[in-house]
Amino acid sequence: MKFQIEDVTVYFPYDHIYPEQHAYMVELKRALDAKGHCLLEMPTGTGKTIALLSLITSYALSKPSSLVKLLYCTRTVHEMEKTLGELKLLHRYQRLHLGDAARTLALGLSSRKNLCINPAVVSAENRDSVDAGCRKLTASWVRALAVENPNIPTCQFYEDYEKAASDAVLPPGVYTLQDLRAFGKEKGWCPYFLARHMVQFANVVVYSYQYLLDPKVAGIISKEMQRESVVVFDEAHNIDNVCIEALSVSVRRQTLEGATRNLNKMTQEIQRVYPQLELVKPPFLPADLVPSMLQIGQSISPFVFKH
């Protein structure tokens, strides 16, 4: 169905709409007009995702000069795929009414574990191992060595993606992670690097909270996003946990004990080779600045040598 909310024509892909969905859209539209923040709460199963996607994409279609980009953050890959599935349905409906004027590029972005198509790499047991496996094949120094020595393995999907250069683009459409993998296989291009490249041109990007909230990842992926982006955090009550996770580092006791042993060994070796050096504790490091995790290691203490 198609209806007006003030100056925006809303395309909604179902024949019926709950009054709550309509009320939700009205508030959302006002928040977009005001370029402000908005906190909306609706019970599970009342169709908030489709209401939200319909209103924001219709808003962008009604006001092409506003150049709205939608960044939709979900907590899990399952939610990401579900959101993109709804977006596909909505996009089909908008194209039915508007034809090419409704052309859009929407895609999901996730880790290599969910996008890699190299069987030798993606079969690793966890996300970190897949990342490490990919880096071993795509690091610039590995690729440089492989030019001299063809026995050094590289990833053909990455090489072909690089070779295609500016031709490696996604045509307009809505792409779930599964669609990206299928497109990558068809073209022989790595879907992970292709998706990472295309997020800057997409009208809608669906990705996980970390891509915006974790400074280590956000600096690489999200720094090119326009300031006019509309950012949605689905299930936003998870934000504090995600921030805690992103800014925490886990260190195992064995790692600290190993570091202590190595530091002690280094100290002895330096004292043996340079007996004239005197070991002193730096006066500029107050005890409360030594991270508490180091204090677990007990015998680790900052040290310097001086003549």
When asked if residue 138 is in the footprint of ligand SF4 (CB under 6 A), the reply is yes
Q: Cβ–Cβ contacts within 10 Å for residue 202, how many?
A: 23
155 binds ligand SF4 (CB under 6 A): yes
Instruction: Give least dist CB 202 to ligand SF4, A.
Output: 19
For position 190 contacting ligand SF4 by CB under 6 A, the verdict is yes
Where on the phi/psi map is residue 6: left (φ > 0), alpha (ψ -120 to 50), or beta?
A: left
Query: Which residue, 77 or 290, is less far from ligand SF4 as judged by CB?
Result: 77
Among 11, 24, 93, 157, binds ligand SF4 (CB under 6 A): 157
Under DSSP, the state recorded for 274 is -
Which of 24, 72, 93, 158 binds ligand SF4 (CB under 6 A)? It is 158
Backbone angles phi, psi at 283, to 5 degrees: -75, -15
With left for phi above 0 and alpha for psi between -120 and 50, is residue 222 left, alpha or beta? alpha
Pairwise CA distance, residues 137 & 35, whole Å: 44
Residue 192 engages ligand SF4 in binding (rule: CB under 6 A): yes
What is the rounded CA–CA span in Å between residue 170 and residue 176? 12
User: Shortest CA distance to 303 belongs to which of 274, 272, 264, 276?
Assistant: 264
Considering only residues 112-131, where is the footprint of ligand SF4 by CB under 6 A? 112, 116-118, 121
State the minimum distance, in angstroms, from the CB of residue 180 to ligand SF4: 11
CB-based contact 73:109 (threshold 8 Å) = no
Taking the complex as a whole, the smallest distance from the CB of residue 116 to ligand SF4 amounts, in Å, to 3
Q: Which one, 153 or 291, has the nearer CB to ligand SF4? A: 153
Residues in touch with ligand SF4 (CB under 6 A): 112, 116-118, 121, 134, 137-138, 155, 157-158, 190, 192-193
